[in-house]
Amino acid sequence: MEYSEGKLPPSYDVAENELPYQIKLALWQTAFGLQKVDGLSPSEYMVELAYENIEGKKGYDAIYREISDYHLKEHVDANTVEADIVSLRIAELLAEDHFLLSPSTLLGIHRHLFTDVFPEEIPVGKFRTVNITKNEPVLNGETVAVFGIQYLRKLGLHIDYSLFSEHVAFFRNALVLYYYQGEKQDKQYLKMFFENLLLGKQNVLSDEALRMKE
């Protein structure tokens, strides 16, 4: 898949250098971790650029330009392009301090993350009117994770970002089970995740247990 830099959505106005090193590191680790549930991994060059951002050497606009040029020059495969671009956009959004609890915010996050990443037949930044599938046990998405993190921070709650990067599959699958309309609906797994996230509990977040719910 070719990626056109000219089609990139405008980046958010983020005061990047105001964030501490450890916070930036956590945001990037979360961004990369959210790709794992789709079996995607960023390129080594994207990881290098991420550390330059963490260290305050490069902003998001510069990284957009450099990673897009790299993709075109090296003919990078579509999965790696997706992992690079979506990770970069997640890190950028998580560095943003503004949030409005609204469906339009959720759609805006989806649009920002996946513009020019998904094929044209898949709607971006819109509520879907057709079904799409992936070869995975259960589905949700990075959009909900980013929305949830921003909302919890807006409430003034402390966020342990490592839970999202280390247990992203559990979180995503727990969301699906929570909202499932039928006999498989189960709220206990999402409760376990948020008990660990907000209350410091040590529930075992086993994705295997979730898959047994299929």
Are the CB atoms for 59 and 16 separated by under 8 Å?
yes
What amino acid occupies position 96? E
Q: How far apart are CA 81 and CA 158, in angstroms?
A: 32
130 vs 173, which has greater pLDDT?
173
CA–CA distance, 214 with 212 (Å, rounded to integer): 5
CA distance 115 to 154: 25
Q: Based on the number of CB atoms within 10 Å of its own CB, is 106 exposed (0-12), middle (13-18) or buried (19 or more)?
A: middle
Cα 106 to Cα 175: distance, rounded to the nearest angstrom = 15
Task: For 57-111, write each residue's pLDDT tens digit.
Answer: 999 999 999 999 999 999 999 999 999 999 999 999 999 888 899 989 989 998 8
pLDDT of the residue at 211: 63
